[in-house]
Amino acid sequence: MEGYRICASTNSSCLEMVCPRSTPPSVCVTDAPWQIIDKKKKQEAEIKTPKIQAGFVAAKGSVPVKSGKKRKLEESENLSASTKKTKAAQMIISSNESSPSGLVWDGDNYSCAYDALFTILYEIWSTDTKTWKRRFKEINQHHLKSLSACFKIYMNGQASFETARDTIRHEIHSQNPTQFPYGTRGTSVAALTSAILAPQNFVAISSPQCTNCEYSEPSIDDSLEFVLHEKDDSQKSTSQWLGSLEHETHERCPQCFSAMMQPISFKTIPSVLVFEINSRNIKVSKTLKFEQEGESVVLDVRGLIYHGDFHFTSCIIGTDGIVWYHDGMTTGSSCENEGDFDKFSSKKLLKCKRKQLILVVYARV
């Protein structure tokens, strides 16, 4: 079975990725600009398109909604045909503005988890709609397929961004009303991300092998998905975390009786990869670079989600490297320019406006 596994090199500045014998390409994981270079060698329900009721289109780059209180989302669902055309035209004209689209927070049914995640996913999707429609569908043909369809309807000016959000929210709530409730109870953004990115097939393998001799066992499908949950604070960076994925095992090698290890690897390079952050000392690797079959594939940080005071906010990193801050309560339908991502230190990324970093979203370039 093709794939690759990642294991730490004896050189602390590098990670070595070893591919199965049937898969010779190398894979590199690099950090920038606080540079940890990881050199990898050898071993590596389909649903119907949702129907969305057209409504007000929140234009890109529109004036931010300022409010210090949680408020009800006000939206007209019965606009006249002429008003709809005006709003659609406004969105097209404003699309040349650099600010990403934002979601206005729903104070009756707390939506900040959805606002933080969907603003990031929409910005990723909108950079190349055809490519990301395909990539979303490859991950799963359920929530991501629906989300892609909703994004398209919003982009075409046929519904507001909030209507698109609420359509997917209803879909998710219907499946698990306890975990994804309405009202003011709140939702875990990590659980939401896991549900949205849940793959339809196994995407990883684990490979039991001896730590001393060359004994190994056949690779087996693994339950690892595209959201990685930090179990302890021992990882120095997200790239090293990626390089140390393995299951604990107390098995002994049947040949030399040495300890066994069971590293985990993805079968193919992910299009989206999310890290849940619990440590306050971890470094956020700005770039993950993979090389497979002569092709270089780069995953950049495209989104950061923060939590504090029972509220989620996010930062979107554009393809031009500009950081945009979004808070559905204060910035509303637009985002605020925070500057150049290259100038952000690792320590600075761990906090944003007194909130703590909890999710890092990587996506293929």
Amino acid found at 89 = A
Which whole number is the average pLDDT over 100-120?
97
Quote the pTM value: 0.74
pLDDT at 292: 72
Judged against a pLDDT cut of 80, whether residue 57 lies above it is answered with: no
Cβ(244)–Cβ(6) below 8 Å: yes
pLDDT at 3: 44
Place of tokens 């289109």: 57
Pairing outcome for strands 336-340 and 272-276: unpaired
pLDDT at 343: 95
Both structure tokens of 142: 């359920």
Both structure tokens of 3: 């794939």
Give the C-alpha separation, 158 to 303, whole Å. Answer: 26
Which whole number is the average pLDDT over 277-291?
87
> How many other C-beta atoms are found inside a 10 Å radius of the C-beta of residue 311?
19
Radius of gyration of the chain from its Cα atoms, rounded to whole angstroms? 22
What is the percent of the chain where pLDDT is above 90?
Answer: 57
Cβ(290)–Cβ(28) below 8 Å: yes
pLDDT at 270: 94
Judged against a pLDDT cut of 50, whether residue 75 lies above it is answered with: no
**What sign for the dihedral angle of Cα 341, 351, 246, 202?**
negative
Mean pLDDT of the chain: 79
146-160 as b/e: b if 16+ CB within 10 A: bbbbbbbbbbebbbb
3-state secondary structure 12-45: CCCEEEEECCCCCCCCCEECCCCCCEECCCCECC
Closest CA to 203 of 181, 182, 227, 183: 227
pLDDT at 107: 95
Which whole number is the average pLDDT over 245-255?
88
Which whole number is the average pLDDT over 101-121?
97
Judged against a pLDDT cut of 50, whether residue 313 lies above it is answered with: yes
pLDDT at 37: 34
For the ranges 230-234, 294-298, 316-320, which has the lowest average pLDDT?
230-234
Distances (CA, A) of 108 to 71, 98, 183: 7, 30, 6
Cβ(114)–Cβ(169) below 8 Å: yes
Cβ(2)–Cβ(23) below 8 Å: yes
Judged against a pLDDT cut of 60, whether residue 76 lies above it is answered with: no
pLDDT at 61: 40
Judged against a pLDDT cut of 50, whether residue 36 lies above it is answered with: no
pLDDT at 303: 98
pLDDT at 64: 41
> How many other C-beta atoms are found inside a 10 Å radius of the C-beta of residue 117?
27
Give the C-alpha separation, 60 to 44, whole Å. Answer: 42
Pairing outcome for strands 15-18 and 5-8: antiparallel
Cα 235 → chain centroid: 19
pLDDT digits (tens, 9 = 90+) for 139-177: 998 899 999 999 999 999 999 999 999 999 999 999 999
- Which residues, 6 or more positions from 301, have their beta carbon under 8 angstroms from its beta carbon? 284, 285, 286, 287, 317, 341, 360, 361, 362
pLDDT at 151: 97
Place of tokens 């927070």: 105
pLDDT digits (tens, 9 = 90+) for 166-207: 999 999 999 999 999 999 999 999 999 999 999 989 999 898
